[in-house]
């Protein structure tokens, strides 16, 4: 039995959702039909995410908000901006993508986040948090410059409100006073039954046309009255208005002080209340905030009970909420995030100076368990990557050993802080970049394929990439001992079977690991591409070539001596990385060869100069030209160009012993 509020889908499903092909179709439905539509949307989201994975709890929490907005606004001309995008599945269902929703997160299918190239109703793309108010304000400014009159609405979740960008936009429009409606989706609070009725009454009064007309006219009359400035009539009336709101609704005062009219809180799961309130305020002048209280995971009891667990889900069984186990090649497979957290935990046990910071990603980076054990030394700063970096810099000045664990795609938001607050001051901040490289179904917004480039350019930065979990553990130790400036360690999403440190040689600054020697071709690889290099080498050897394989380990500084030595007698130097080809590891090798006046032919493999679409990691590697087959074909083409003859001797007889 499905433990959802609405009951099993076969009993409750109607045909409203199937008959909606565009947003305006929602406007023809009455309240009862809209409530039935909400039930259908929830069941559709549960049905598809249980098969495909995706963002479940967030989307279930905003079903009524979405339907109310579609009911009241014309999305052909009005603009609706969602924050992050993982709460916009209902939006996708109601804007013509219901029939394709089964393809969610698949290659060529419906995307997990909003994208302007997927639908004309995705008015602004969203993958990273806290961008909605800024982008919506930009639309409102453009609207006024073009002398148009459409509405602009932004929906932001409470998590995204921790991001500084949201407050910058709130502050800006508090000054500009543009007509902009902000729906604050607050799933971190509950409606207190003791004050709920009174609060609801005040919201109705504050949003009513009669009250707002009286409010504006009374303030204007006070301003025109004789001796108004002397007596302070207008200021007194405004203070009375603010005091009433502060007494009944303390959360609203933050918005009010920033220049926004605050309305709420309102039950975010009551279509009747939402439609009434939004309908009252949608034509009011100036910045308006509606504070909607919602429950994450609403309508699916498992997600209601543990919204954290069911935020982003892999395929699961709807009837009991259990997740389907992925088949594994071995029982000893473990995620890179877990390898990191276990090693860091050992260091925290040994040294009280070790601290960890993350930006709303304690679970994803593996730190959630360590926070319970070290609550004062494992810090979640919220969606504030820049603050995490600068805060860690402050800690480093006082002799602490900060580890900043953030997804690669999110750390790029803090680039200025890394340069200005850490690198210039030569502070030993340790950056742990989780989810580096291609990440599969999350698509372009979440791929960590730029970190080698944006970190390599920073003076004084040390940059490492482990081949496997065992090497990751070794490198974390190296980071712990590093005290002469910033150091970054990037590792992929996914699992590793090798975690025993004794399996790999110790880490030395700027030293690569020569895995096998060769005289014709040298394959220089980092991270996950090391195994691809081995695979490619085996195929080349069957064709008679002598191939050296190097696990570079360091992207900055490079192992200058080893690379130049190999390049001095090999006929072709090949680099392999799961990073943007511009400015990454391959570029570093080419720069080294150039300044050393080495003219050995080269070939670089990496992410091409375009965004790689969502799909499985294997599909993405093929798309990026990083499959073994594609790389082998390109190496053959390059060998033809430089006319290297195929060796006839046995490789076993000609190969030198590797280190």
Catalytic residue status for 413 = yes
3-state SS assignment for residue 567: helix
**Per-residue b or e along 183-207, where b marks 16 or more CB atoms closer than 10 Å to that residue's CB:** bbbbbeeebeeeeeeebbebbbebb
Tokens 């319970």, residue? 372
Among 92, 296, 401, 621, the active-site one is 296
Hey, which residues does 157 pair with through a beta bridge?
185
Do strands 495-496 and 487-492 pair parallel, antiparallel, or not at all (unpaired)? unpaired
* Residues comprising the chain, all counted: 659
- Looking at residue 315, the DSSP 8-state letter turns out to be S
The Cα–Cα gap between 442 and 54 comes to 9
What angle (nearest 5°) sits at the alpha carbon of residue 258, between those of residues 257 and 260? 95
Q: 616: which 2 tokens? A: 């499985």
615: left (phi over 0), alpha (psi -120 to 50) or beta: left
Among 44, 245, 261, 413, the active-site one is 413
Instruction: For the chain, state the CA radius of gyration.
Output: 29
What angle (nearest 5°) sits at the alpha carbon of residue 33, between those of residues 29 and 38? 110
Among 304, 385, 471, 541, the active-site one is 385
Which residues lie closer than 8 Å to 132 by C-beta, 6 or more apart? 81, 82, 83, 124, 126, 154, 155, 156, 160, 166
Task: Residue 424: count other Cβ atoms within 10 Å of its Cβ.
Answer: 13
Do strands 554-556 and 462-464 pair parallel, antiparallel, or not at all (unpaired)? antiparallel
282 alpha-carbon distance from chain centroid: 31
3-state SS assignment for residue 108: coil
Q: 485: which 2 tokens? A: 């400036």
Closest-CA residue to 300 (of 44, 601, 617) = 44
DSSP string, 185-223: EE-S----HHHHHHHHHHHHHHHSHHHHHHHHHHHHHHH
Burial of 544 (0-12, 13-18, 19+ CB in 10 A): middle
Catalytic residue status for 256 = no
Which residues lie closer than 8 Å to 499 by C-beta, 6 or more apart? 332, 334, 339, 468, 469, 470, 473
Catalytic residue status for 97 = no
The Cα–Cα gap between 205 and 50 comes to 43
C-alpha to C-alpha distances, 95 to 21, 123, 136, 153, 431, nearest whole angstrom: 6, 12, 19, 16, 41
Q: 483: which 2 tokens? A: 């005290």
The Cα–Cα gap between 27 and 623 comes to 41
The Cα–Cα gap between 81 and 275 comes to 18
Task: Residue 347: count other Cβ atoms within 10 Å of its Cβ.
Answer: 17
The Cα–Cα gap between 637 and 574 comes to 13
**Which residues belong to the active site?**
296, 385, 413
């Amino acid at each position: 039995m499905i433990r959802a509020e609405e009951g099993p889908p076969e009993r409750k499903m109607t045909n409203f959702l199937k008959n909606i092909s565009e947003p305006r179709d929602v406007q023809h439905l009455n309240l009862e039909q809209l409530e039935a539509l909400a039930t259908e949307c929830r069941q559709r989201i549960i049905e598809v995410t249980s098969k495909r994975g995706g963002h479940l709890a967030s989307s279930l929490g905003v079903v009524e908000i979405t339907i109310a907005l579609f009911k009241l606004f014309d999305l052909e001309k009005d603009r609706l901006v969602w924050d992050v995008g993982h709460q916009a599945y209902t939006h996708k269902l109601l804007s013509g993508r219901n029939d394709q929703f089964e393809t969610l997160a698949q290659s060529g299918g419906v995307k997990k986040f909003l994208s302007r190239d997927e639908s004309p109703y995705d008015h602004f793309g969203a993958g990273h948090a806290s961008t909605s108010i800024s982008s919506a304000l930009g639309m409102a400014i453009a609207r006024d410059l073009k002398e148009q009159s459409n509405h602009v609405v932004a929906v932001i979740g409470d998590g995204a409100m921790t991001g500084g960008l949201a407050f910058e936009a709130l502050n800006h429009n508090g000054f500009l006073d543009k007509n902009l409606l902000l729906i604050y989706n607050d799933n971190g609070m509950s409606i207190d039954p003791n004050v709920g009725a009174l609060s609801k009454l005040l919201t109705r009064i504050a949003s009513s046309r009669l009250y707002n007309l009286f409010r504006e006219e009374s303030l204007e009359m006070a301003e025109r009255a004789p001796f108004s400035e002397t007596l302070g009539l207008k200021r007194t009336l405004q203070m009375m208005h603010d005091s009433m709101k502060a007494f009944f609704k303390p959360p609203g005062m933050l918005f009010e002080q920033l220049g926004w009219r605050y309305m709420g809180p309102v039950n975010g799961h009551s279509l009747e209340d939402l439609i009434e309130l939004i309908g009252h305020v949608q034509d009011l002048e100036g910045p308006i905030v509606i504070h909607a209280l919602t429950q994450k995971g609403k309508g699916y009891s498992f997600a209601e009970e543990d919204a954290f667990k069911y935020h982003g889900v892999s395929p699961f069984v709807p009837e009991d909420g259990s997740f389907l186990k992925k088949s594994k090649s071995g029982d000893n497979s473990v995620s890179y995030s877990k390898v990191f957290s276990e090693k860091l935990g050992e260091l925290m046990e040994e040294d009280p100076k070790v601290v960890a910071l993350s930006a709303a990603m304690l679970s994803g980076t593996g730190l959630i368990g360590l926070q319970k054990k070290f609550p004062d030394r494992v810090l979640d700063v919220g969606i504030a990557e820049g603050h995490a970096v600068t805060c860690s810099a402050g800690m480093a000045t006082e002799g602490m050993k900060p580890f900043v664990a953030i997804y690669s795609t999110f750390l790029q938001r803090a680039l200025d802080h890394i340069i200005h607050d850490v690198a210039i001051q030569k502070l030993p901040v340790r950056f742990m970049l989780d989810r580096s490289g291609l990440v599969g179904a999350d698509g372009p917004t979440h791929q960590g394929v730029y970190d080698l480039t944006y970190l390599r350019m920073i003076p004084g930065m040390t940059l490492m990439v482990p081949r496997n979990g065992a090497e990751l553990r070794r490198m974390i130790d190296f980071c712990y001992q590093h005290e002469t400036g910033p150091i970054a360690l990037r590792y992929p999403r996914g699992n590793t079977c090798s975690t025993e440190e004794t399996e790999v040689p110790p880490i030395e600054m700027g030293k690569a690991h020569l895995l096998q020697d060769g005289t014709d071709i040298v394959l220089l690889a980092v991270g996950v591409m090391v195994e691809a290099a081995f695979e490619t080498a085996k195929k080349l050897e069957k064709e008679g070539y002598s191939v050296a394989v190097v696990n570079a380990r360091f992207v900055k500084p490079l192992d200058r001596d080893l690379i130049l030595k190999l390049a001095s007698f090999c006929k072709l130097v090949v680099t392999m990385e799961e990073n943007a080809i511009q400015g990454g590891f391959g570029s570093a090798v080419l720069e080294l060869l150039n300044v050393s006046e080495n003219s050995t032919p080269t070939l670089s493999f990496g992410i091409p100069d375009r965004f790689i679409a969502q799909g499985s990691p294997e599909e993405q590697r093929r798309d990026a030209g990083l499959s073994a087959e594609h790389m082998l074909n390109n190496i053959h083409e390059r060998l033809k160009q430089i006319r290297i003859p195929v060796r006839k001797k046995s490789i076993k007889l000609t190969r030198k012993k590797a280190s």
